[in-house]
Structure 1
Amino acid sequence: MIAAAHAMAMEFTLHVDDGVDRAALASTMSHVESDLRWADAVFSTFSETSWISRLSRGETTVADCPPAVEQVLDLCAHYKGATRGAFDALSPDGAIDPTGIVKTWAMERVRWRLDDLPAAGWLWGCAGDAVVSGIGPDEGRTWRVGIAHPEHRFQSVGAVTLGGEHTAIATSGTTVHGGHIWAPGGEAPAYVQASVVGTDLVECDAWATAIVAGGEPVALAAQEHGMDVLALRMVDGRIVAERSPGWDWAA
């Protein structure tokens, strides 16, 4: 069974087993959508009245913002250090822009509601990012997740298996939603797309964005932090894939 929530100009989808109570699912997704819309109202860089936009213009302080703002900015600072500066919540023009992790942070923020569903397992995803819990429908009771082609959203470059050791995947790129990715020094991003598999959705998202911006050195650093990486370059009009040794394509 698939349920959806709409916020941040995107569709968030929840895959659960068909036996879940439909009334409970509808109630849960209603609350989830409200939570996501609240996160958008706080962090949208497209809204002049959002807290993050007002903060960026110097019209308020972190202390006066909802506590979530400080939490997200602390996460951004952490990942800036971990990725050696490749992940940065300051845009080239000096604006505060935590877009690189806000979506996945918002997804993780509501997962307690999903855990309360009477379901054996679920897959929670949006625009290339997904996290799973419990058992899935595929062989071995895992989840099979496709990775979209960087230039053709309805085509796939392959699929990975989530469940067990790896429970989260995030994909970032420059071809569809590249406005939040900028390379250090103003150079062109090294990769057109990067996918990172691990155990923490926000961590995967931050590293995927950083890898697109920072290239191979950052991809190697992600592996040192225990994650697996698929990075895509565009060479002479064709996609060239670079995979970490532990990257495991789904059959």
Structure 2
Amino acid sequence: MRVTATVMGIPSSFHLPEHRGTAATDPAAARAAVDAAVDLLHEAEQRFSRHVATSELRAVRRGDLDISRVSADMRDVLALADEARDASSGAFDVTGPDGLLDTDGVVKGWAVQRAADLVACRGVVDLCVNVGGDVAVRGGPEPGRPWAVAVADPHDRTRTAAVVHVSDGGVATSGTAERGTHVWDGRTGRPARGLASLTVVAETLTRADILATAGFALGADGLGWVVRNGAAWALEIRPDGTQAQAIRPPRG
């Protein structure tokens, strides 16, 4: 089963192989789970978008809503942001150079992971959710085979820079190819320009997205930092097109 939708203004897809679990035994229930997940993503957009005048984020930015009175979801996202800011020595910061709150560096991964978890809780065993190139997966497309996630070359979006195989976890990329220069270094308030892109694989897309954004802001120090802070695998592509990979060392 494949379902496409536009969420957060981004083309998105849900792929549910039908060889086991609810997708195999009750396709209608699996489709209902996807519909609920899409609704969840739309709710996140309505709450956190800088472009929706009635969003909770906009109310905070206007000063109409005190930060001490925000929703549980907003508190959850801000707690994740605070943790990343501290771990990155301030390179990751959801307070922009203009002094206004901007949760984009957290929300997409957090929301897509919640959507994937919702579908999984309905008995879907194998799942790939792709929202604008950030991917949450469970199981695989076939028995015994992991998902293959392509990493685009930021210098030529028609080329694949790498393919990473993941069974359960998230893959997120931060870079300039899709939205131009939009990640800033919270330590300087200036755009992060040290890397062209940084892709991270982690146990959840929530974690992968935050690590990719923070690592990209850190620039040359980002690759080592993301592995030390929970990435299972990471790929940096530099402005000159050269690449480097890092893998989390086995424990023990």
Gaps of 5+ in 1: none
Identity of paired residues, percent? 27
Q: 2:160 maps to what in 1?
A: 156
Paired AA for residue 16 in structure 2: V
Instruction: After TM superposition, give the deviation of residue 200 of structure 1 in Å.
Output: 2.1
2:59 is the alignment partner of 1:57: no
Instruction: After TM superposition, give the deviation of residue 142 of structure 1 in Å.
Output: 1.1
Q: 1:90 maps to what in 2?
A: 95
RMSD: 2.1
Which of 194, 203, 208 is the aligned partner of 1:204? 208
Tell me: CA distance 1:108–1:226, structure 2 relative to 1, closer, same or farther (3 Å): closer
Q: Hey, what's the Cα distance between the residues in 1 that align with 2:247 and 2:127?
A: 28
Q: 2:146 maps to what in 1?
A: 142
Tell me: CA distance 1:128–1:212, structure 2 relative to 1, closer, same or farther (3 Å): same
Q: 2:40 maps to what in 1?
A: 35
Q: Is contact 1:83-1:207 (8 Å) kept?
A: no
Q: 1:175 maps to what in 2?
A: 177
Q: 2:112 maps to what in 1?
A: 107
Q: Which TM-score applies when normalising by structure 2? A: 0.87
Q: For 1:72-107, what per-residue CA distance to the aligned partner results, in whole angstroms no more than 9, with x for missing partners?
A: 111100111112212110111111001011011111
Instruction: After TM superposition, give the deviation of residue 220 of structure 1 in Å.
Output: 1.3
Q: For 1:144-173, what per-residue CA distance to the aligned partner results, in whole angstroms no more than 9, with x for missing partners?
A: 110112143333112001026xx2211111
Instruction: After TM superposition, give the deviation of residue 48 of structure 1 in Å.
Output: 2.6
2:12 is the alignment partner of 1:7: no
Q: Is contact 1:87-1:207 (8 Å) kept?
A: no
Q: For 1:92-132, what per-residue CA distance to the aligned partner results, in whole angstroms no more than 9, with x for missing partners?
A: 11110010110111112223321134444111221221122
Secondary structure, counterpart of 2:184 in structure 1:
coil
Secondary structure, counterpart of 2:214 in structure 1:
helix
146-155 or 79-88, larger mean C-alpha shift: 146-155
Q: Hey, what's the Cα distance between the residues in 2 that align with 1:152 and 1:22?
A: 38
Tell me: CA distance 1:119–1:137, structure 2 relative to 1, closer, same or farther (3 Å): same
Secondary structure, counterpart of 1:195 in structure 2:
strand
Q: For 1:190-236, what per-residue CA distance to the aligned partner results, in whole angstroms no more than 9, with x for missing partners?
A: 1011001121211111111122221122321212124222011122x
Q: Hey, what's the Cα distance between the residues in 1 that align with 2:137 and 2:121?
A: 14
Count of residue correspondences = 241
1:115-130 map, 5 Å = 115-130=120-135
Secondary structure, counterpart of 1:244 in structure 2:
strand
Instruction: After TM superposition, give the deviation of residue 66 of structure 1 in Å.
Output: 2.1
Q: Is contact 2:172-2:205 (8 Å) kept?
A: yes
Q: Hey, what's the Cα distance between the residues in 2 that align with 1:9 and 1:245?
A: 33
30-39 or 110-119, larger mean C-alpha shift: 110-119
Q: Is contact 1:100-1:180 (8 Å) kept?
A: no
2:224 is the alignment partner of 1:220: yes
Q: For 1:4-57, what per-residue CA distance to the aligned partner results, in whole angstroms no more than 9, with x for missing partners?
A: 232110122221113523312321222112111111011001223211111022
Which of 123, 133, 138 is the aligned partner of 2:138? 133
Q: Is contact 2:47-2:55 (8 Å) kept?
A: yes
Tell me: CA distance 1:119–1:60, structure 2 relative to 1, closer, same or farther (3 Å): closer
Gaps of 5+ in 2: none
Instruction: After TM superposition, give the deviation of residue 188 of structure 1 in Å.
Output: 4.4
Q: 1:190 maps to what in 2?
A: 194
Tell me: CA distance 1:162–1:211, structure 2 relative to 1, closer, same or farther (3 Å): same
Q: Which TM-score applies when normalising by structure 1? A: 0.87
Q: Is contact 1:5-1:29 (8 Å) kept?
A: no
Paired AA for residue 176 in structure 2: T
Q: Hey, what's the Cα distance between the residues in 2 that align with 1:100 and 1:188?
A: 13
Q: Hey, what's the Cα distance between the residues in 2 that align with 1:187 and 1:54?
A: 26
